[in-house]
């Protein structure tokens, strides 16, 4: 499947999930992209715009963008597990300070939300097995959920 760049108008995005403290996940068609699948018979089929997900928080001026809903939800779990953070200037410093000072589980989960990171890379980075990384991600998700539940109480 190919992705081609074409101009089209973005809408406001649909709210898919709502969390405490005004945190939301939105679904958007990505500006300027359409997915095209080859039919194998010399013609292509237009599938429409690629879908991306954005997380909106009260403290976020630049909305983080994710290729999958799972990555967006994991980012939200990290956000709540550390009590919130902003990604402004993260390109310069790499990881938000709140995430950097958290434990390996939260750091691994944050890094996993980036499209160019996979389980193998994280296992090598942390010098652990892939199963350990899966455990880290599971525990980070649970901590995020626990933090949200405490806020809702």
Q: List, for residues 94-144, the tens digit of each pLDDT value.
A: 788 899 999 999 999 999 998 788 999 999 999 999 999 999 999 999 999
**Tens of pLDDT, residues 64-88:** 789 899 999 999 999 999 999 887 7
Total domain count, the chain = 1
Nearest to 150 by CA among 15, 21, 10: 21
* Pairing mode, strands 14-18 and 2-5: unpaired
What is the pTM (predicted TM-score) of this model?
Answer: 0.79
Of the candidates 58, 69, 51, 65, the residue with the CA atom closest to the CA atom of residue 10: 51
Show the domain range for 128: 2-152
d(CA 65, CA 44): 28
Structure tokens that stand for 136 in this block: 């880290």
């Amino acid at each position: 499947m190919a992705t081609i760049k074409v101009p089209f108008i973005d809408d406001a995005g649909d709210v898919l999930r709502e969390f405490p403290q005004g945190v939301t996940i939105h679904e958007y068609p990505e500006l300027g992209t359409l997915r095209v699948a080859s039919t194998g018979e010399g013609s292509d089929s237009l599938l429409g715009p690629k879908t991306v997900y954005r997380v909106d928080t009260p403290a976020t001026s630049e909305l983080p963008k994710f290729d999958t809903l799972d990555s967006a939800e994991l980012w939200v779990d990290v956000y709540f597990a550390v009590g919130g953070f902003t990604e402004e200037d993260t390109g310069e410093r790499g990881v938000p300070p709140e995430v950097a000072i958290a434990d390996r589980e939260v750091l691994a989960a944050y890094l996993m939300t980036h499209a160019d990171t996979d389980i193998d890379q994280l296992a090598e980075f942390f010098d652990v097995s892939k199963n350990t990384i899966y455990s880290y991600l599971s525990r980070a998700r649970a901590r995020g959920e626990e933090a949200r539940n405490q806020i809702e109480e």
